[in-house]
């Protein structure tokens, strides 16, 4: 059973663009990703007590990913003064955690089965994203736009942990995820208050990649809606500061025992499991900022 999960990812995207003519531009770049994960979970059924019950332990897995690389490509087309069309692709990136720390708290009688100083390796894919968008300049001050994303979540087939040292009670784990590709629809607008200040607002609808029977507490997911607000400020011709705020609302989703058993992700007779029947709901508040320099 999961007790705590902390995921961090930092992505740097050095990108260049070339203007072919007044209507067409192309661009591309490299995606450099680094991150970390810390996972604390209960270990059930590590040993049977005299009364027939099972002892419970705790595992703490903590590691940092090595540098991972991908790429991005884009095309921009402006058929008229009012209409702009964009197409972009960002490749899949696989984050690899090597020699992460694996610490265990178990009954003293079982300590030899969970050696101190153990380490683990793991991989976590970040999906590819293909996007197409169109914007319309209603006036010199107001721009409206919409975008459709196709997200390659099918790359996330399983979550595996490979421990350096194994025992009869500590085996490598491979938990199926079997995500499906999903899509996201965006709608938004920008209003130029003056030469320096831009006001923004938007909405998106994001479909879940998680199939029935594969819901886990580490990443509970359902179809969700996002509401955004933003402020941009231009410091002259070269420097742009953008602030944003996002509220995410996910509808309640129930996972039944029958769904998990049918997917093969839940075994009632076993104590150790990642997928748990239950009711899941998610809300999030996410602030953000960015600074850009235009050459």
Ordered by start, the domain boundaries in the chain are 2-293
Higher pLDDT, 4 or 52: 4
Question: Can you tell me which residue has the tokens 């975008």?
Answer: 147
Q: Of 76-90, 156-170, 232-246, 267-281, where does mean pLDDT reach its minimum?
A: 267-281
Q: What is the distance between the alpha carbons of residues 150 and 93, in angstroms, rounded to a whole number?
A: 16
Q: Of 39-48, 134-143, 160-169, where does mean pLDDT reach its minimum?
A: 39-48
Instruction: Find the distance separating the first CA and the last CA of the chain, reported in whole Å.
Output: 51
pLDDT tens digits, residue range 236-273? 889 999 999 999 999 888 888 888 888 777 766 654 46
| pLDDT score at 271 | 46
Higher pLDDT, 221 or 155: 155
Three-state DSSP state, 104: strand
- Beta strands (DSSP E) in the chain are 2-12, 15-19, 24-48, 54-64, 68-77, 83-90, 93-105, 118-126, 129-137, 142-151, 158-163, 173-176, 182-192, 197-206, 224-235, 239-255, 278-293
pLDDT at 83 over 80: yes
Chain centroid offset of residue 181 CA: 13
pLDDT tens digits, residue range 14-25? 999 999 999 999
Q: What are residue 160's DSSP bridge partners?
A: 174
Q: Of 29-38, 84-93, 259-268, 279-288, where does mean pLDDT reach its minimum?
A: 259-268
Q: Of 9-13, 102-106, 146-150, 262-266, where does mean pLDDT reach its minimum?
A: 262-266
pTM: 0.82
| pLDDT score at 173 | 85
Average pLDDT of the residues in 169-174: 86
The topology (CATH level 3) of 2-293 is Porin (2.40.160)
| pLDDT score at 46 | 53
Retrieve residue 253's tokens: 């989703």
């Amino acid at each position: 059973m999961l007790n705590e999960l902390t995921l961090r990812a930092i992505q740097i995207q050095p990108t260049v663009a070339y203007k072919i003519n007044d209507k067409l531009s192309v661009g591309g770049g490299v995606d450099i990703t680094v991150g970390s994960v810390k996972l604390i979970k209960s270990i059930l059924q590590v040993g049977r007590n005299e009364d027939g019950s099972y002892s419970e332990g705790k595992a703490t897995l903590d590691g940092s990913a090595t540098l991972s690389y991908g790429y991005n490509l884009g095309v921009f087309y402006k058929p008229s003064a009012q209409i702009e069309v964009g197409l972009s692709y960002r490749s899949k990136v696989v984050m690899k955690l090597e020699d992460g720390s694996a610490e265990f708290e178990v009954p003293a009688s079982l300590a030899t089965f969970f050696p101190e100083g153990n380490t683990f390796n793991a991989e976590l894919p970040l999906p590819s994203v293909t996007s197409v968008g169109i914007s319309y300049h209603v006036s010199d001050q107001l721009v409206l736009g919409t975008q459709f994303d196709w997200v390659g979540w099918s790359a996330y087939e399983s979550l595996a942990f490979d421990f350096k040292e194994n025992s009869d009670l500590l085996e490598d784990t491979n938990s199926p995820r079997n995500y499906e590709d999903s899509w996201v629809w965006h709608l938004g607008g920008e209003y130029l208050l003056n030469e320096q200040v831009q006001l923004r607002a938007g909405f998106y609808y994001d479909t879940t990649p998680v199939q029935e029977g594969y819901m886990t507490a580490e990443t509970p997911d359902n179809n969700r809606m996002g509401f955004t607000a933003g402020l941009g400020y231009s410091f002259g011709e070269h420097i742009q500061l953008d602030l944003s705020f996002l509220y995410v609302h996910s509808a309640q989703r129930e996972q039944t025992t029958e769904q998990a058993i049918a997917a093969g992700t839940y075994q009632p007779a076993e104590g150790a499991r990642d997928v748990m029947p239950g009711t899941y709901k998610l809300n999030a508040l996410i602030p953000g900022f960015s600074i850009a320099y235009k050459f």
